[in-house]
Amino acid sequence: MSLSLFDLSGKRALITGSSQGIGFALARGLAASGAKIVLNGRSADKLAAAATQLRSEGFSVEELLFDVTDHDAVRKAVDDFEAATGPIDILVNNAGMQHRTQLEDFPADAFERLLQTNIASVFHVGQAVARHMITRGAGKIVNICSVQTALARPGIAPYTATKGAVANLTKGMATDWAKHGLQCNGLAPGYFDTPLNAALVNDPEFSAWLEKRTPAGRWGKVEELVGTCVFLSSDASSFVNGTTVFVDGGISACL
């Protein structure tokens, strides 16, 4: 198979929540495969710092500041960007949050924030970008799911619910938009060493449990998500639609 199938040269990719962690790693990886990158976040300072870092590595980077939970703001930001700069060919819906509390004590306001940040944002940004993709008859949407799309752990039941919903929304996107030339898929990371997981990474007891529970025997490195994201963003996945690919060291495959 020709490696040109994975070449993203001439494509532009918007990655939400990309000033740090998985989003930043995916942005760097897509850029290394030839894509022009559009970073997104809510903090102008963090966004500028991330953009400066990637530009120093020789990549083409643009910044788009908006809150993924604000439907009207998302629509305006995307429409204005497309009109002024050009098409968004690839969307990676990465923005997300976590809140750990036993379910019987889980605060209602935290539950609502999870719903808005982890699910509603995928709808808001996905719809805004897809409207332009549909007009062009082509586009790639990669929704970041989680190992919790398929599995649950104590203390994160609402997060688990949101990530299950993202996978099903991904199926719905593919069902509605494949006929317009879009491929919409999910990428489900297992346990990766990121700022979102800092509390777990720094917990020796949890890390020991994870290393025993995961067939690969370790935490994932964010760079190990790049290959799958590039595949789902490229011509190599032209007939892959509505699926979720787990990148988890085998944790979802075994008891």
Amino acid at 242: G
| Mean pLDDT over the full length of the chain | 97
In a domain, 84, yes or no: yes
Q: Which domain holds residue 219?
A: 3-247
> What residue has token string 């970041």?
144
Structural domain includes residue 253:
no
**18-42 mean pLDDT:** 97
Close Cβ partners of 36 (under 8 Å, ≥ 6 residues apart): 11, 12, 13, 60, 61, 62
Total domains present in the chain: 1
Summarize the confidence of residues 228-249 as an average pLDDT.
98
- Specify if 252 maps to a domain: no
Residue range 149-174: average pLDDT? 97
What is the 8-class DSSP label of residue 253?
G
Give the pLDDT score at 195. 81
Residue-wise pLDDT tens digits, 171-220: 999 999 999 999 999 999 999 998 878 889 999 999 999 999 999 999 99
| 185 within domain boundaries | yes
Task: Please give the pLDDT value at position 194.
Answer: 87
Q: What is the pLDDT of residue 199?
A: 87
| Percentage of the residues of the chain whose pLDDT score is greater than 90 | 95
Which CATH number fits the domain that encloses residue 86? 3.40.50.720
How far, in Å, CA of 207 to CA of 202, rounded? 8
Whether 1 shows a pLDDT value over 80: the answer reads no
- Side by side, which strands form the sheet with 61-65? 61-65, 36-41, 12-15, 90-93, 139-144, 182-189, 244-247
Active site residue: 24, 66, 106, 159, which one?
Answer: 159
Count helices and strands in the chain by DSSP H and E runs: 9, 7
**52 inside domain:** yes
For residue 219, give Cα distances in angstroms to 156, 193, 209, 251, 255.
Answer: 19, 6, 11, 11, 17
The reply to whether 254 falls in a domain is no
CB atoms within 10 A of CB 255: 3
Active site residue 159: yes
Give the containing element (helix H, strand E) for 75: helix 71-84
- Identify the pLDDT of residue 198: 87
What span, in angstroms and rounded, lies between the C-alpha atoms of 233 and 139? 9
Is residue 187 within 8 Å of 167, Cβ to Cβ? no
Backbone φ, ψ for residue 45 (5° rounding):
-65, -50
Inform me whether the pLDDT recorded for 251 exceeds 80.
yes
Q: Which residue, 200, 172, 199, 198, is CA-closest to 185?
A: 172
255 inside domain = no
Question: Is the pLDDT score of 227 beyond 90?
Answer: yes
- The answer as to whether 154 is a domain residue is yes
Can you read off the two tokens belonging to residue 51?
């953009």
